[in-house]
Amino acid sequence: MKKIIVSVALLTATLSFAGEQFAMSDADRAMYTEMLENNPAEIYVEEGGEFLEEIGGEAALAKFLDVSEDDLPKYIAGFPRYVEKLGMVIGTDQVLQALMASQDKKPYKLKSKDMFAMSSYVKSLANDEKVAIDVNANDHMKAAYKLGKEVYETKRGGRGLACLSCHSADIVGSVLRTQPLPDLGKAGAGATWPAYRMTKSSLRTLQRRFQGCMKNALLAVLPIGSKEMVALEVYVTDLAKKADQTIAIPGLKR
């Protein structure tokens, strides 16, 4: 029996068949509008601030990162970034793990609700700042960007899909599984996650969202915090920077 692989062409045909009738319902749209005013994730972000206070608050975080508290928001706006004292390109969640470990506290797991909350609070410190990631800052960031672009564009899995398969210019705007496919740069994916996902009724990070996409596309799911996953976040965050996006945490997603 021949191995059947669903090609990008078939995906395109499926997307083309979908119409506006499969997009967000009036009820969901009304709920979304209401949540824009009262984002359920705000309570989790506030809780994350309390978690940060337990390990010294913003002062301890700034000291750990060797920046002033006044400069912390702009510095946070540059994540993921290379942190010299840790010797790698990482996200804010991994910085928080390292901060907790430095105080002999058991770090939250990267996929835990507590880490989602605390890292969301930290990212929210940069609200209203322009995305400031610098993929040319050093060789480490250049390598991460290159790897992230490779992960984003490489077709893999049983359906032969890549991130680009659903987010290339010729696909954007089509509807898949009731949702219009966005341009990740213009949608500010790197600026608006962590976000509250209406369909999951929970706060999620960008890397957790990547995992959901990978699972749905039948791709091997990359671990949160892995070199490849962080690199993918670097690439997508740079798309937000190129689109001149401003950080707004927590976001609200369907």
For every one of its 254 residues, what pLDDT tens digit does the chain have, with 9 covering 90 and above? 333 233 333 333 333 333 443 455 565 556 556 555 679 999 999 999 999 999 999 999 999 999 999 999 999 999 999 999 999 999 999 999 999 999 999 999 999 999 999 999 999 999 999 999 999 999 999 999 999 999 999 999 888 999 998 877 777 656 666 677 878 999 999 999 999 998 888 999 999 999 999 998 899 999 999 999 999 999 999 999 999 999 999 999 87
Q: Is the pTM of this model over 0.75?
A: yes
- The domain in which residue 101 lies consists of 8-253
Tokens of 179: 């949702």
pLDDT reported for residue 4 = 29
CATH of the domain at 163: 1.10.760.10
Q: What is the DSSP letter of 25?
A: -
User: Using CA atoms, how far apart are residues 131 and 168, in angstroms rounded to an integer?
Assistant: 22
Does the CA dihedral 238-240-244-245 come out positive or negative? negative
How many domains is the chain partitioned into structurally?
1
* Residue 2 belongs to a domain: no
Question: Is 12 within the bounds of a domain?
Answer: yes
**Which residues are bridge partners to 246 per DSSP?**
130
State the Cα–Cα distance between residues 238 and 222, nearest whole angstrom.
20
* 118 is a domain residue: yes
Asked if residue 1 is part of any domain, the answer here is no
Instruction: For residue 106, tell me if it sits in a domain.
Output: yes
Comparing CA positions, the residue from 179, 180, 210 lying closest to residue 194 is 210
> Does residue 175 sit within a domain?
yes
